[in-house]
Chains A and B, each alone.
Chain A
């Protein structure tokens, strides 16, 4: 399994990374080197092995349904690139 430049272009778009042409070329090359290393694991026999998602294999703890948060909008929005009337602003979204 090796990646073509067009595959990397798709991945970059899925991840919303606006790579330029030179970046696409170099990324294709470097991702393929990494893939070569990773592909060795395909040889491991994993028949009947249950995937391990979390090392501790505990179960989810539940939170009581009680309001613990108060309005901190001004503090939080001080970090934002653009706000108006309490809203975060982004370039016009067209549905």
Chain B
């Protein structure tokens, strides 16, 4: 059962091959047995999951059916889940039982999904390896000595280890696409504003976007269909109508024009990944796609631009964690200053503090123009790069990451080295366009991801191309040994 895709689970449940309760029981047992190896869950909500499954079975027996009824999922631990700890993988929120549901959670609950629990991540989504978690790093099921990527590390590890068929994630600079690439999954980051941010703890508000990690494009399409759309509680939520994603999957690729940004194929890129990408290009050509070279000239500055703006936003987004209304408070504060200084220093991890200070610096008097404002201007240039490229092509394709998943701890003392790994994913967040990573090879036992990027709100295009590719390849069906 645990090898099934979400779409197949949906069909099996509809065909009564097994019940949601049976499936949930099976997965909970797997989590108990296997999660200690990958450390993907922070909280397993066993009782609630079984109740939800039973309720879903009951509804089905009453004649109800919908694509996600009784389908198990798990959620990145930054989505608020009412009555369940929502820690953001931080000591700061280790004791925080969310008093409400995020819109994403609410919509998935309404669709009948069963939540198995909350998934590990980099603390407050700051990191690209999963190692900044207060609950310890998640491990890559393909090689337990390596990182699964981040910040949606637990989402990637859990789905790749077949503990859950799909998971929510969030992507501010690559946090869905990079771990999807590192663990052989399909991960979609929709257009900024496509899925409501209400209830998703903010890291960098103008970048944060919820999305999914699953086994294939079809599963991503089902989940996006259930969650995309306008939300009046989020001022940055898009009012654009939602496409029919599952329907788009089956469209042939004839005539589709795909751009290859030359900046994505320079000497930063591991040549073996480059080869895998070119193999994928050949396969897509056979399916009818045509390829042209395009240029995103500002790409070399994307990482710096991203870190300045994201850190600036994070520095103030995390000011609410002050030990007054919720979250961690230090022991016996001697005065108010002491309460702030110690609570925040004791409960935030090193990377979070680094970004808070970086962001504070970028906004401070005398440096605002040189850092924050400068970065906002380059952000415009990067957006313009994409606008220009999309005048020539329907989609942009390239590697998701310049390198394969690294050894746990390898970049722990070199934050910049870790930041630079985001070079191919941050541009989409800077521009706000949708992106998807799909598995396109295995090198030395480690998965490789290919990234597709599309113009605003053209998630259907991304899913269509990925789905067609997946009809003719089997990388997405590979399972790491031992899972």
Contact between A and B in the complex (any CB pair below 8 Å): yes
Q: Given the complex of chains A and B, what is the CA–CA distance between A40 and B379 in angstroms?
A: 14
CB distance from A47 to the nearest CB of B (A): 9
Alpha-carbon gap, A16 to B43, bound state (A)? 30
B364–A41 CB distance below 8 A: no
On chain B, the residues within 8 Å of A60 by CB distance are 235
> Given A55-B383, A92-B335 in contact, is the A12-B303 Cβ separation under 8 Å?
no
8 Å CB interface, A53-86 against B = 53-56, 58, 60-61, 63, 72, 75-76, 78-82
* Contact B415–A53 (Cβ < 8 Å): no
A56 and B374 contacting across the interface, CB-CB below 8 Å = no
How many residues of chain B get a CB closer than 8 Å to chain A's CBs? Answer: 73
A-B contact pairs, 19 of them (CB 8 A): A1-B367, A13-B341, A14-B364, A15-B319, A16-B340, A17-B341, A17-B348, A27-B357, A34-B358, A37-B419, A37-B420, A50-B377, A58-B239, A78-B97, A81-B323, A88-B324, A88-B325, A90-B336, A92-B336
Those 7 A-B pairs whose CB atoms lie nearest each other, nearest first: A55-B432, A18-B341, A51-B376, A46-B377, A81-B329, A16-B340, A52-B380
A46 in contact with B374 (CB, 8 Å): yes
Least Cβ distance of A39 to chain B in Å? 8
CB contacts (< 8 Å) of B381 on chain A: these are: 44, 46, 49
Q: Which residues of A contact B336 (CB under 8 A)?
A: 90-93
A51 vs B324: C-alpha distance when bound (angstroms): 35
Contact of B99 among A16, A31, A53, A75 (CB under 8 A): A75
- How far is B377's CA from A52's CA once the two chains are assembled, in angstroms? 6
8 Å CB interface, B324-379 against A = 324-327, 329, 333-342, 344-345, 348, 353-354, 356-358, 360-361, 364, 367, 370-371, 373-379
Is B109 interfacial (CB-CB < 8 Å)? no
Residues of chain A from 1 to 17 with CB closer than 8 A to chain B in the complex: 1, 3, 7-8, 11-17
Closest Cβ neighbor of A40 among chain B residues: B304
B305 within 8 A of A: yes
Do B357 and A44 touch (CB < 8 A)? no
When distances are taken between beta carbons in the complex, the residues of chain B under 8 Å from A8 are 357
Residues of A within 8 Å of B, CB-based: how many? 54
B374 close to A30 (CB less than 8 A): no
Contact call B371/A90, Cβ cutoff below 8 A: no
Q: A16-B340, A55-B206 are in contact. Are A79 and B325 (CB under 8 A)?
A: yes
Contact among A41, A52, A63 for B232, CB-based, below 8 A: A63
A78 to B99, CA, bound (A): 10
Which among A15, A53, A58 is the interface contact of B376 at CB below 8 angstroms? Answer: A53
Cross-chain contact A33 with B379 (CB below 8 angstroms): no
A residues in contact with B470, CB < 8 Å:
none
A27 neighbours in B (Cβ, 8 Å): 353-354, 357
Q: Contact: A38 with B307, CB < 8 Å? A: yes
Alpha-carbon distance A90/B326, docked complex (angstroms)? 12
Residues of B whose CB lies within 8 Å of any CB of A are 96-97, 99, 191-193, 206, 232, 235-236, 238-239, 298, 300-301, 303-305, 307-308, 315, 319, 322-327, 329, 333-342, 344-345, 348, 353-354, 356-358, 360-361, 364, 367, 370-371, 373-381, 383, 414-416, 419-420, 430-433, 456
B361, A44: Cβ atoms closer than 8 Å: no
Residue of A nearest to B342 (CB): A18
- Asked if residues A30 and B371 are in contact (CB atoms below 8 Å), the reply is no
Q: Point out the residues of chain A lying under 8 angstroms from B325, CB to CB.
A: 76, 79-80, 88
A89 to B156, CA, bound (A): 40
A37 to B360, CA, bound (A): 17
Q: A54-B236, A55-B192, A81-B327 are in contact. List 7 more A-B contacts (CB 8 A).
A: A16-B341, A18-B344, A20-B345, A37-B304, A38-B307, A44-B377, A49-B381
Q: With A and B bound together, what is the CA distance between A40 and B319 in angstroms? A: 28
* Distance, CA A75 to CA B99, complexed state (A): 7
Taking CB as reference atom, which chain B residue is nearest A20? Answer: B345
Q: How far is the CB of A6 from chain B (nearest CB, A)?
A: 13
Question: Cβ of B358 and Cβ of A31 under 8 Å apart?
Answer: yes
Complex partner residue of B432 from A14, A18, A56, A91, CB under 8 angstroms: A56
Q: A52-B383, A93-B336 are in contact. Are A11 and B364 (CB under 8 A)?
A: yes
Task: State which of B97, B340, B383, B416 has its C-beta within 8 Å of the C-beta of A37.
Answer: B416
Which B residues lie within 8 Å of A54 (CB)? 206, 236, 432
Q: Which residues of A contact B323 (CB under 8 A)?
A: 81
In Å, the complex CA distance between A91 and B419 comes to: 39
CA distance A18 to B342 in the complex (A): 5
Q: CA of A41 to CA of B319 in the docked complex: distance in angstroms?
A: 27
Least Cβ–Cβ distance between A36 and chain B, in angstroms: 8
Could you tell me the distance in whole angstroms from the C-beta of B44 to the nearest C-beta in chain A?
Answer: 22
Judge whether A81 and B354 touch: CB under 8 Å: no
Specify which chain B residues have a CB less than 8 angstroms from the CB of A13 in the assembled complex. 341
Instruction: Kindly provide the distance from the CB of B396 to the nearest chain A CB, expressed in whole angstroms.
Output: 16
